[in-house]
Amino acid sequence: MNVFVIGIGLIGGSMALDIQEQYPEAKIFGIDTNKKHVEEALKLGVIHQKATFEELKKATIVLVSIPVDAQLDVIPKVLDIITDDTLVIDVGSTKESICNTLKNHPKRRNFLATHPIAGTEFSGPKAAIKGLFKGKTNIICEVEKTAFKLQEKALEIFSKIGMRIRYMDPISHDKHIAYVSHLSHISSFMLGKTVIEKEQNERDIFDMAGSGFESTVRLAKSSPAMWTPIFEQNKTNVIETLEKYISNLEEFKTLMQQDKFNEIYQKMESTNHIKQILNGLK
Ligand code: NAP
207 CA distance to ligand 1 middle (Å): 32
What's the pLDDT score for residue 281?
55
Which ligand 1 atom is the nearest neighbour of the CA of 11?
A: 26
What's the pLDDT score for residue 202?
75
**Atom 23 of ligand 1, nearest CA residue:** 9
Residue 111 one-letter amino acid? F
What's the pLDDT score for residue 158?
98
Pairing of β 111-116 and β 137-141? antiparallel
What's the pLDDT score for residue 210?
72
Pocket around ligand 1 at a 6 A CB cut-off: 6-12, 31-34, 37, 65-68, 70, 74, 91-93, 115-116, 119, 123-124, 127, 223, 225-226, 230
Task: Label residue 146 exposed, middle or buried (CB < 10 Å: 0-12, 13-18, 19+).
Answer: buried
**Atom 14 of ligand 1, nearest CA residue:** 66
227 CA distance to ligand 1 middle (Å): 10
Low-confidence residues in the chain, pLDDT < 70: 211, 281-282
Domains (ranges, CATH) in the chain? Answer: 2-168 (3.40.50.720), 173-280 (1.10.3660.10)
Q: CB–CB of 125/42 below 8 Å?
A: no
Q: Measured between alpha carbons, how far is 64 from 80 in angstroms, rounded to an integer?
A: 14
What's the pLDDT score for residue 214?
84
Q: Measured between alpha carbons, how far is 119 from 134 in angstroms, rounded to an integer?
A: 11
Best mutation site among 6, 10, 101, 136 for ligand 1, i.e. most ligand atoms within 8 A of its Cβ? 10
What SS3 string covers 199-231? CCCHHHHHHHCCHHHHHHCHHHHCCHHHHHHHH
105 CA distance to ligand 1 middle (Å): 23
